[in-house]
Structure 1
Amino acid sequence: MPRQADPLVETPSGAVRGLRGRTGERYRGLPYAAAPTGAGRFEAPAPHPGWSGVRDGTRPSPTAPQPTRDFGRLDMTPYFGPGWVPGGEYLSVDVHTPAADGGRRPVMVFVHGGGFVTGSNRAALYDGSAFARDGVVLVTVNYRLGIPGFLDLKGAPSNRGLLDLLAALGWVRDTVAAFGGDPGNVTVFGQSAGATLIGALLATPEAKGLFRRAIIQSGNGMGAFTPEQAQRAGAAAAAALGVEPTAEAFAAIPDSRFLAVLPALAGLDLRTSTAGDPLAGLSPFSLVLPVQPADALADGPAAEIDLLIGTNSQEGHLYLVPQGVLESTTQAEVRAFAARAHTDPQTVLAAHRAALPHATPGELRSALLGQVLFEAGTTRMARAHARVSGGRTYLYSFGYRSTALDGRLGAAHAVELPFVFDLADEPWLHGDTGLLGAASAPAGLAARVHGAWVAFARTGSTGWVPYDPQRPRAEILGGTPEFSSRAHLRPRSAGGDSADGHPRDGIAG
């Protein structure tokens, strides 16, 4: 039975009961679209019909169908969450608010990462207590993943996961005021695949008017597949399932079979005569666009949007250290990956070796991975946004090195998240296999990073010097970005063969 003190909110869809905690109120599992079941998994999101009576908003929703991820000894459960929790109504949001009292507080909408195939808002890292404590209404979003979310099929709209985000932002516009948020002051932010999706929103005409600011953490503004590449991925999935690559054929297949064939798609070679694989073979799923988001900002709301964007200084370590590959990498393997990732691998390798003269082969390989997957696309997005927005762009480089895995994980992909959410002191993130390792988090870093994100959401300014493409500099967060000197090295094309040492399921985080 609900406690009498539990808060009750009237929304356009119906009444919902939440929980009151130390930092505010929390409402969980609120649907922003109808359950995507059967053929509906391959259609645009449909409006939710609403409900009568009072909805229980004290428990989380199901999650999108997704595989289990394995990062060796590193415990990534706080990042990925519980995995697949079956249930139809997973197109949902959680809301953490200081109070649903009719206020007009800044709103932040978070989009999780997971290689377009895993993750949910149930992950412990996305606890919104610190944001609510600091006067922000935090909304965390679930969206379709994997084959239902991103596989291109005849008879189905492309980028269904992106369409889900547009629907969720429409829900925020129409509903967040009931939770004390200001629908005119919305910041979207995300990490990894979630950040790449936000980059696409900046170039999407339908996103105009849905948000005011954006934060892109380790995304890729050049990470979309071409239609030809998407067709190749769809054909491979159809062949693995023994059906035609059509929405009608896929609609009859249960989600469990979609997950079962994912290993057969790992390392799929998506290189074509006109395009390299922007994800270097580490995921068979991405956005499908004729023009990369960083090159299409004039089509969307980017000119009116403030942007905070950046990467971590050792992104590639996440794909090499937990698997024990960083130390065992050979020079031949570095050359092989460079050849897959660049049309002029000798020049690229020479530049990296000059920038990192003391790097081991594994560290060079990590540098190449980070550049291909995140840094080159981030640099191009920052430059493009600065041009169209007139200077409302801020660039950061996160350099704090986690001591996880015997001190070897470093400033890897995802290590900034505990600082953004001000959770860096939580015990479940520490210990040798925890994301932050055995050492205590540096004093003041979480306050600095989280504070910058909150300030940006409030006003559009971090207090940093804005990014200038003519005199590029990044705000350094938590250490020296040892790889920043290669930021100008943009890959001309990327290869489709996956490198040894990526996660065992063959999908990037």
Structure 2
Amino acid sequence: MSAQAPVVTTALGPVRGERRAGGDRFLNIPYAQPPVGDLRFAAPVPPRPWTRPLEATAYGPTAQRRAFAEMTVIPEPTVPGEGVLNLNVFTPRAEAAPERGGLPVLVWIHGGGYVAGSAASPWYDGAAFNRDGVLLVSVGYRLGIEGFLHLDDAPDNRGVLDWIAALEWVRDNIAAFGGDPAKVTVAGQSAGGGAVQTLLATPRAQGLFRAAISVSGAVMRPQDKAAGEGVARLFTARTGVPATAAALRDLPYGTLYEFQDALDAPGDDREGLPQGLALAPFADGGLIPVPVTEALADGGAGAGVGEQPLMLGFTRDEFDAMGGSALTDAVFRRPGLTIAEGRAARELPTWFYEFRWETKAAGPFAGQAFHCLDLPFSFDALDAENVAEVAGPTPPQSLADAMHGAWVGFVRDLDPGADWPRYTRAGRATRVWDAEPATVGDALRAERERWLG
């Protein structure tokens, strides 16, 4: 290990990272003990302290042990191992932290339908944010049955508890890396965008971040306690195994995936239950008091909950290329617009967008502004692995400059810029991300009138 390798002392012990042009990165830092044995279905437990520098130069284990599909738009590496409750910190030179002062922080929660995804994706590298004076933290968390199935003898929403534990780690440690714990923005895409909405609706998470970005956010529907408990009953009916930690704790991961496949299969016994995202956060009446849309659009989680500045939106086509235009509207566009409208009625600071740039790549997504296509632009990572294959050979750098710049402005200043005003009932300003970005008043008027009246 080079003598120039950066070392930062956290509250639990020192970590040794890797120096790169433009910044330092520290990978696989544990924010909780490995969820194995008695901890497999328990709330996250803080790591035990250490004294010698922890080598933090390679991505740590992922909760994803089977990819979402044979081929995915986002490269999503699977890393074996048990310590899946880890995070990665990308920062401008850590050694300059005392002189530089506290920088704004972006905490990134990956997507993957709450059953897959990886914080180790090259699309989530924080280099461009570091270049622009923002720290990035990417978070791993429990997925699928381990993270989200209701169990009679275990806490609900364990994956949500993981997100909260990671944010508490950021609060307690990010200053050592040059970040300001009072300037944290939580962000995510797809299931990660749903995670952001969930955290906004969770009283226990308030105070851990000052702003939020929900990108194509997706949550379970219906999302009430009855739905979560109904999924558990369906699990038992289809597998013959009780939905309890005691019954599942010692089973191999392969068996859990077989159970997950059985749970996801179609059938008449699913009537009244979520048709998709069955293993996802739900309003348990405790940690999450009410469903997310009710909390964010109507303030149903209580005064002061979920009122942080919020940037949210979606791609125009999402899953249309799969013959899923109804799914696109039901899962992404209508709920997103409902939240924007509800927050506007309550005069909460909200910025709303639709991504319309169409891929120039051939294949099933040709001519579509599809799910995930916006991420390389937001991260200013057009040269990352697989981007050319899904976006075409020459995606416009000018669009990446505009989108990434808006994100940096929002994380830094709680404002994406003068050319993108807030979404209000008076103007309904909508940022349209295309080859020529523009702000359009009431850009989704037809959809709004059809869906919301």
Task: Report the TM-score when normalising by structure 2.
Answer: 0.89
**Conserved in 2, the CA contact under 8 Å of 1:195 and 1:216?**
yes
Aligned residues: 432
Distance in 1, Cα, partners of 2:403 & 2:54: 36
* Distance (whole Å) between structure 2 residues aligned to residue 296 and residue 312 of structure 1: 23
- Is 1:440 aligned with 2:394? yes
* Counterpart Cα distance in 2 of 1:468 and 1:222: 27
Deviation at 1:33, TM superposition (A): 0.8
Task: Tell me which residue corresponds to 2:423.
Answer: 467
CA distance in 2, matches of 1:133, 1:243: 51
Shift of residue 240, structure 1, vs aligned partner: 4.4
Within 2, Cα distance between the matches of 1:62 and 1:237?
A: 27
2:146 alignment counterpart:
148
Following superposition, the deviation at residue 410 of structure 1 comes to 1.2
Residue number in structure 2 paired with 1:204: 202
Query: Which of 352, 362, 366 does residue 405 from structure 1 map onto?
Result: 362
- Structure 2 equivalent of residue 238 of structure 1: 236
The CA deviation at 1:315 is 0.8
1:204 and 1:127 map into 2 onto residues whose CA distance is 28
* 1:385 correspondence with 2:348: no
Letter in 2 for 1:306: P
State the Cα deviation string for residues 316-352 of structure 1 (Å, max 9, x = none). 235x1xxxxx4xxxxxxxxxxxxxxxxxxxxxxxxxx
* Residue of structure 1 in register with 2:161 after alignment: 163
Kept after mapping to 1: 8 A contact 2:230/2:273: no
Could you tell me which runs of 5 or more consecutive residues in structure 2 were left unpaired when the two chains were aligned.
none
Distance in 1 of aligned mates of 2:205 and 2:378: 25
Counting only pairs closer than 5 Å after superposition, residues 55-66 of structure 1 correspond to structure 2 as 55-66=54-65
Cα distance in 1 for residues equivalent to 2:219 and 2:234: 25
Say if 2:116 is the partner of 1:118: yes
Letter in 1 for 2:415: S
Relative to 1, partners in 2 of residues 1:153 and 1:276: Cα closer, same or farther, differing over 3 Å?
closer
3-state DSSP of counterpart to 2:320: helix
For residue 486 of structure 1, the aligned residue among 442, 447, 451 is: 447
| 1:432-456 Cα shifts (integer Å, max 9, x gaps) | xx221x3411240001001100100
Q: After superposition, what is the alpha-carbon deviation per residue over 1:43-72, rounded to whole angstroms, capped at 9, x for unaligned?
A: 11111112121100111110004422326x
Write the deviation string for residues 397-450 of structure 1: whole angstroms up to 9, x where unpaired. Answer: 1111112334626101111000011012446311xxx221x3411240001001
The whole-number CA distance in structure 1 between the counterparts of 2:60 and 2:169 is 16
- What SS does the aligned partner of 2:40 have? helix
Structure 2 CA distance for partners of 1:393 and 1:213, relative to 1, 3 Å: same
> In the alignment, residue 171 of structure 2 is paired with which amino acid?
R
Corresponding residue of 2:218 = 220
The residue that corresponds to 1:477 in the other structure is 433
For residues 443-485 of structure 1, the C-alpha deviation after alignment (integer angstroms, 9 at most, x for no partner) is 4000100110010001111121110135423111115999774
* Most deviating of 374-383 and 470-479: 470-479
Return the letter of the residue paired with 2:380.
D
Helix, strand or coil: the match of 1:117?
coil
Matched, 1:305 2:260: no
Match of 1:76 in 2: 73
Q: 1:140 to 1:489 in 2, by over 3 A?
A: farther
On the 8 A contact 2:220/2:280 being kept in 1, the answer is no
Within a 5 Å distance, the mapping from 1:276-355 to structure 2 comes to: 277=274, 281-289=275-283, 291-297=290-296, 298=299, 299=301, 301-302=304-305, 304-317=307-320, 320=322, 326=323
For 2:91 and 2:294, how far apart are their aligned partners in 1? 36
Aligned residues of 1:372 and 1:491 also touching (Cα < 8 A)? no
- 1:410-421 to structure 2, matched below 5 A, reads 410-421=368-379
Deviations 1:66-86 (A, max 9, x none): 422326xx65352xx113x22
Query: Are the structure 2 counterparts of residues 191 and 404 from structure 1 closer, same or farther at C-alpha, using a change threshold of 3 Å?
Result: same
Match of 1:452 among 406, 413, 419: 406
The Cα of 1:313 is off from its aligned counterpart by: 0.5
Stretches of structure 1 that go unaligned for 5 or more consecutive residues are: 321-325, 327-365, 493-509
Could you say which residue in structure 2 is the equivalent of 1:28? 27
- 1:231-273 alpha-carbon deviations (Å, 9 max, x no partner): 2322333344432111211112222211123222224469988
Which residue does 2:352 correspond to in 1? 395
Looking at both structures, which has the greater relative contact order when contacts are Cα pairs under 8 Å and sequence separation is at least 6?
A: 1
Q: Counterpart in 1 of 2:8?
A: 9
Residue in structure 1 matching 2:81, options 67, 75, 87: 87
State the TM-score, normalized to the length of structure 1: 0.79
Q: Verify the 8 A CA contact 2:234 2:269 in the aligned structure 1.
A: no
Q: Give the SS at the match of 2:310.
A: strand
- Partner of 1:474, secondary structure, is strand
Partners of 1:194 and 1:295 in 2: how far apart? 19
Secondary structure of the structure 2 residue equivalent to 1:296: helix
Tell me, in whole angstroms, the C-alpha distance in 2 between the residues paired with 1:283 and 1:316: 15
Is 1:376–1:489's contact at 8 Å kept on the other side of the alignment?
Answer: no
CA distance in 2, matches of 1:458, 1:31: 26
Match of 1:250 in 2: 248
Identity %: 36
Question: Cα RMSD over matched residues?
Answer: 2.5
Q: Distance in 2 between matches of 1:181 and 1:226?
A: 36
- How much does 1:213 deviate? 0.4
Q: Pick from 329, 334, 343: which aligns with 1:376?
A: 334
Shift of 1:376: 1.2
What does 1:177-192 correspond to in 2, within 5 Å? 177-192=175-190
Q: Distance in 2 between matches of 1:82 and 1:195?
A: 20
> 1:488, 1:184 → 2: CA distance?
39
CA distance in 2, matches of 1:269, 1:47: 41
Query: By how many angstroms is 1:220 displaced?
Result: 3.5
Q: Is the 1:223–1:292 contact (alpha carbons within 8 Å) kept by the matching residues of 2?
A: no
What SS does structure 2 have at the residue aligned with 1:475? Answer: strand
- Which letter does structure 2 place at the counterpart of 1:159? N
The verdict on how the C-alpha distance between 1:238 and 1:222 changes in structure 2, with shifts beyond 3 A counting, is closer
Compared CA separation, residues 409 and 223, structure 1 to 2 (3 A): farther
Contact kept in structure 2, 1:35 and 1:89, CA below 8 Å? yes
Q: Distance in 1 between matches of 2:200 and 2:90?
A: 25
Q: CA deviation at 1:385?
A: 2.7
